[in-house]
Amino acid sequence: MFTGIITDVGELRRVDDTAETRMEIGTSYDLQSVEMGASICNSGVCLTVVEKGLDWFAVEVSQETLSKTTLGGWTVGTRINLERALKVGDELGGHIVSGHVDGVGRLVSVNSVGESVCMTFAAPIELARFIAAKGSVTIDGVSLTVNEVEGNRFTVNIIPHTQDVTTLGNLVPNDTVNLEIDMLARYVARLRETEA
């Protein structure tokens, strides 16, 4: 489990897809404190550390993950929002995030609002019903509050701090992002289905 509070922005250093796709990600984490087999959230995708060096770790990515997330389009140099797994007793600054991407969204527009920016995203139709105004959503691993929802489009405000310490500040219209809906919304919807 994660919180959606990004603690490092890494960079894709190497991709090897001769067998299972293997990615090496550069990071400023103290990797001595990262165990083999640990989970790290990579722009919203929970992946397992299979090897590590002084300033990098490697993960293996399944074809399913490549086809259902933005990872299939990553190239060397791609910047990646990173978060280590939540430990009991850690501050829950965002919301509960599983690292299981529900779908790929698309940035529609970016508008300045003072020093912040208001971003409008289009979600896949099947996910739109789970996104609610003032609810939570995870975009590329970042926990955010939804401002408004209209159809399958929703807006979020990105404050200057978030622009600086995540990859969201570099997004431009038509960029794709990993979306994870709020886990509570999923369970409430399922409960309503079983009661109907």
Nearest-angstrom CA–CA distance, 163 and 117 = 9
pLDDT score at 196: 61
CATH classification of 103-195 is 3.90.79.10, yes or no? no
pLDDT score at 15: 97
Report the candidate in 44, 61, 148, 40 with the shortest Cα–Cα distance to residue 104.
44
Three-state DSSP class for 106?
A: strand
pLDDT score at 147: 97
Nearest-angstrom CA–CA distance, 36 and 195 = 43
Per-residue pLDDT tens, the chain, 196 aa: give them: 899 999 999 999 999 988 789 999 999 999 999 999 999 999 999 999 999 999 999 999 999 999 999 999 999 999 999 999 988 777 777 788 899 999 999 999 999 999 999 999 999 999 999 999 999 999 999 999 999 999 999 999 999 999 999 999 999 999 999 999 987 777 676 667 677 6
Nearest-angstrom CA–CA distance, 58 and 47 = 9
CATH number for 8-84 (one of 3.40.50.720, 2.70.98.10, 3.30.70.20, 2.40.30.20): it is: 2.40.30.20
pLDDT score at 162: 97
Cα-Cα-Cα-Cα dihedral sign, residues 140, 141, 147, 149: positive
Nearest-angstrom CA–CA distance, 136 and 147 = 10
Q: Give the residue extent of every domain in the chain.
A: 8-84, 103-195
Q: Collect all residues with Cβ–Cβ distance below 8 Å to 115 and sequence separation of at least 6.
A: 159, 160
- DSSP per residue over 120-142, as a string? EEE--HHHHTT--TTSEEEETTE
Report the candidate in 75, 164, 52, 149 with the shortest Cα–Cα distance to residue 117.
164
Measured at the CA of 164, the angle between CA 79 and CA 127, to 5 degrees, comes to: 65
Nearest-angstrom CA–CA distance, 5 and 166 = 9
